[in-house]
Amino acid sequence: MFYDRFTRFLHFLFAFGIVAQLLTSEWMVHPKPDRAANFLYEIHEKLGVALLVVLVIHWLWSLVRRGPVPFGQVFPWASATRRAALWQDIKHYLASILKLRLPGVDEPSPLAGAIQGVGLVIATVMAATGTLIFFNIGENGQFSSWLALVKEVHEFFGPVLWAYLVVHVGASVLHEILGHRIIHPMFSIRKKKPDA
């Protein structure tokens, strides 16, 4: 499977941005009424707003582009046919794993597509809630009641995004180890398929 250059560029931007966000969140100092934020918090805020823009562009691009993974495969939940294909793919993966193998990646996998969709939703929720906080936090670092709820959602999804990142990268590395070249093509700047 080979994605178009713009999709790969967007993937690079939000992959870099999400990793940077997760790392800065570990050491940043939140502002409080009696304490100022540190520079990592400032980076985290501004990068989060930029990531929301990149994610929105990715969502829009996903709706209009003709790529190897159709939008409906990334979000199969509303279609009985797509859910059935997802279930079949899950069973196919489980049977392969029992044989200590993974299915090839030449054809779009309903499971991989659904996992990508979950990641996009998690990242978008994180970026959207962070952006709401950025534009609505009080001068002294105080939160209104509705913004405190937004902050709770943002903080809840932080570990979820870490877990997603581990699974996504781990699955990619496992595919690579098993001979499925997927990492290099995803970050390649070439216009055409490497084997074309």
Q: Which two tokens stand for residue 48?
A: 């989060």
- pLDDT tens for residues 8-65? 899 999 999 999 999 999 999 988 888 888 999 999 999 999 999 999 999 999 889 8
Whole-prediction pTM: 0.88
Give the residue from 53, 66, 75 showing the smallest Cα distance to 4: 66
Q: Which two tokens stand for residue 95?
A: 């049977």
Per-residue pLDDT at 138:
86
Q: What is the residue type of 152?
A: E
Ordered structural domains, the chain, with CATH = 5-187 (1.20.950)
Q: How many whole angstroms separate alpha carbon 180 and alpha carbon 196?
A: 16
Per-residue pLDDT at 21:
97
Q: Distance of alpha carbon 108 from its chain centroid, rounded?
A: 18
Kindly tell me if the per-residue pLDDT of 151 is higher than 80. Answer: yes
Contact 54, 10 (CB under 8 A): yes
What's the sign of the alpha-carbon dihedral 163, 173, 187, 62? negative
pLDDT band at 70 (very low <50, low <70, confident <90, very high): confident
Contact 62, 74 (CB under 8 A): yes
Per-residue pLDDT at 196:
45
Q: 3-state DSSP call for residue 95? A: helix
Backbone angles phi, psi at 32, to 5 degrees: -135, 165
Q: Which two tokens stand for residue 101?
A: 């193998």
Q: Which of 77-92 are b and which e, b meaning 16 or more Cβ less than 10 Å from the residue's Cβ? A: eeeeebeebbeebeee
